[in-house]
Structure 1
Amino acid sequence: MLADSPEFAAATTDARLVEINGNRLAVEVLGPADAPVLIAHHGAPGLGSRAEPRASFGRLADTYRVVVFDARGSGQSEGKGTFSHDQWAADIDGLREWIGAEQIIMAGGSYGGFMAMEYATRYPDRVRAMVLRDTSPDHAHEEKALANALASARVEIDRDKLDRIFAGAVRDDGDLRDCWREILPLYDYHYDPEAVERKVAATPYRYEAHNYAFSVNIPGYDVKPLLPSLTCPVLVTVGRTDWITPVECSEKIAELIPHARLVVFERSGHSPQIEEAEAWTEAVRAFLAETCPVP
């Protein structure tokens, strides 16, 4: 779903378990202790893990203190309580408090971008700057994504599996795996069937969080009315051929947030941080060097 590739497997060695709001989260901290803090949220609840933002935003750990984590109900983290946007945003703020930062750079791609915007609109005084990638300000992207999936010339999509994963109606972790395999060919600019199978094998499956996110959270998701109130600098990045959160979604975000900057990567699908890694990282570094300079 709203996920990223290919560095998608949950890490197994470097995490610490940190109790945040009564739930233990798997957390990794990278970079200098005295640097500005960047918290990066992964995509795809129930499918994503901290490995994805560690592989992309972790590149900035030579300059910034980068915190990556498995959200409640994903990866290696516990899944107590609910998986609402309110709860996940509160968990982000709990991590901010735990790391000892008054303000943070908030970052996220795909569904992680949903949560970055949800956090910034709930805790605006806590956000120094924000970096978004391949995301959407509301649930209207689902209609576009459905049309793109069914029109794809790469593969013929099983409509029943597509509908189950979009509706948050998968039956168990095995069914989530099958539905995920069905749509993975749509994500990258260049289609590699072997890479798809590697991603399927590497993904940590937690169907309860996925189902809640897509059956409960997304139908009511819409931060558009709140985005014009943001005052922090924002960088919006997106791949030109992103099928699930198309370019027009990022254009809408950049239109609504005062002084937001939009960068489109022409040879990328849903993951320009991988498919055009050098150019994407350079764009993020330049933005942060201007808006959050490190002495």
Structure 2
Amino acid sequence: MSRPAGRAVLADDGCRLWTLVGGDGPPLVFVHGGPGLWDMAGDLATMFEGHYRTVRWDQRGCGRSQRRGPYTLDRSVADLGAVLDAHAAGPATLLGHSWGAHLALEYTLRHPERVRRLVYVAGTGIDDEDTWKPVYRQRTRDLPGGLDRASVVRQWTAEFPDRAQAATHAEAMATPWFEINRECSVTINAEVARRLRETDLAARCRTLRVPVLIVDGSEDLRPRWAVDSLAAALPDVRRVVLRGASHLPWVEDPDGFSGAVLGDHRR
């Protein structure tokens, strides 16, 4: 299978970041999950290319980007800024998924003038992760370990409640396949967990004037009440829960997902 060639963007420390642009219109930048994974927004780009200039990218050390640290939240925020500098002349819409939702939120809090709108998809909120992670661990306790493709596909299959389609969806997530960057995952997850324990992110969110759309799938293995305090703290927020969808709600309910995002398109 051929892979999109993309274009390299240099971070301010010289790290090469893979990017891919399509469509026409105001910029929409996808911020993928992980950490340690890669962009899987091909379907999303196709969904929105008629309305936006879509920008996909792999975070440093991941996928098609240069495998090079350091792996920190501050570095990730700066890298996202480099992608915006290269591909967004004015304020952009950020669509962040899972860990990418947290990264996009953090960027928006630091640089609200660069963000037209934040779409926060399947994130895990702003509370100490010990409030929700035990529930998640209980729900996933029987999943296999391993970082090889076959093991990860089996893990990802559990993300989809429609068991007839789960394996197909998980295979699509893993195509193309790149080595998972475990160092990136462990390091950034530990830093984010520490910051959530030690800082009052809700107070920062209460000052944000950028409109935020939160999109959840009701069947996500990560409990959706973990996002309640974030929604309560944001001054300009709309929340959409897609019934029957899970952690990748655009896969299971593409019409509901695109309707939610495009319903706020002119904001």
TM-score range, shorter chain: 0.7 to 0.9
Contact (CA 8 Å) 1:236, 1:260: kept in 2 or not? yes
Contact (CA 8 Å) 1:243, 1:270: kept in 2 or not? yes
Contact (CA 8 Å) 1:28, 1:67: kept in 2 or not? yes
Q: Give the SS at the match of 2:29.
A: strand
Q: Within 5 A, what are the aligned runs for 1:43-54?
A: 43-47=33-37, 49-50=38-39, 52-54=40-42
Match of 1:231 among 209, 218, 242: 209
Q: Within 5 A, what are the aligned runs for 1:122-271?
A: 122-138=110-126, 140-141=128-129, 143-151=131-139, 156-157=142-143, 161=145, 175=147, 180-181=152-153, 183-192=155-164, 194-195=167-168, 198=171, 199=173, 202-204=176-178, 205-221=180-196, 223-244=201-222, 246-271=223-248
What is the CA deviation profile of residues 192-235 of structure 1, one whole-angstrom value per residue up to 9, with x for unaligned ones? 56337625575422222122222333332463231111101111
What is the CA deviation profile of residues 139-176 of structure 1, one whole-angstrom value per residue up to 9, with x for unaligned ones? 63465343244246xx8346xx4xxxxxxxxxxxx646
In the alignment, the residues of structure 2 paired with residue 181 and residue 65 of structure 1 have an alpha-carbon distance, to the nearest angstrom, of 31
Specify the alignment match of 1:288 in structure 2: 265
What is the CA deviation profile of residues 19-45 of structure 1, one whole-angstrom value per residue up to 9, with x for unaligned ones? 12211011001112xx21111100012
Judged with a 3 Å threshold, the aligned counterparts in structure 2 of structure 1 residues 175 and 286 are, in CA distance, closer, same or farther, namely closer
The letter of the residue matching 2:109 is T
Q: Within 5 A, what are the aligned runs for 1:64-143?
A: 64-138=52-126, 140-141=128-129, 143=131
Specify the alignment match of 1:28 in structure 2: 20
In the alignment, the residues of structure 2 paired with residue 151 and residue 63 of structure 1 have an alpha-carbon distance, to the nearest angstrom, of 37
Q: Which stretch shifts more, 216-225 or 268-277? A: 216-225
Q: Give the SS at the match of 1:229.
A: coil
Question: What is the CA RMSD across the aligned residues, in angstroms?
Answer: 2.6
Q: Give the SS at the match of 2:186.
A: helix
Percent identity between the aligned chains?
23
In the alignment, the residues of structure 1 paired with residue 125 and residue 132 of structure 2 have an alpha-carbon distance, to the nearest angstrom, of 14
Specify the alignment match of 1:56 in structure 2: 44
- Aligned residue pairs total 260
Contact (CA 8 Å) 1:149, 1:186: kept in 2 or not? no
In the alignment, the residues of structure 2 paired with residue 188 and residue 227 of structure 1 have an alpha-carbon distance, to the nearest angstrom, of 31
In the alignment, the residues of structure 1 paired with residue 118 and residue 127 of structure 2 have an alpha-carbon distance, to the nearest angstrom, of 20
In the alignment, the residues of structure 2 paired with residue 200 and residue 94 of structure 1 have an alpha-carbon distance, to the nearest angstrom, of 27
In the alignment, the residues of structure 2 paired with residue 58 and residue 250 of structure 1 have an alpha-carbon distance, to the nearest angstrom, of 28
The letter of the residue matching 1:46 is G
In the alignment, the residues of structure 2 paired with residue 142 and residue 107 of structure 1 have an alpha-carbon distance, to the nearest angstrom, of 26
Q: Give the SS at the match of 2:123.
A: coil
The answer to whether structure 1 residue 39 and structure 2 residue 12 are counterparts is no
In the alignment, the residues of structure 2 paired with residue 67 and residue 104 of structure 1 have an alpha-carbon distance, to the nearest angstrom, of 10
Specify the alignment match of 1:3 in structure 2: none
The answer to whether structure 1 residue 276 and structure 2 residue 257 are counterparts is no
Judged with a 3 Å threshold, the aligned counterparts in structure 2 of structure 1 residues 103 and 144 are, in CA distance, closer, same or farther, namely same
TM (norm. structure 1) is 0.79
Which one scores higher on RCO, CA 8 angstroms, separation ≥ 6?
A: 1
Contact (CA 8 Å) 1:149, 1:243: kept in 2 or not? no
The answer to whether structure 1 residue 14 and structure 2 residue 5 are counterparts is yes
Shift of 1:188: 1.4
Query: Where do 5+ consecutive residues of structure 1 fail to align?
Result: 1-8, 162-173
TM (norm. structure 2) is 0.86
Contact (CA 8 Å) 2:139, 2:221: kept in 1 or not? no
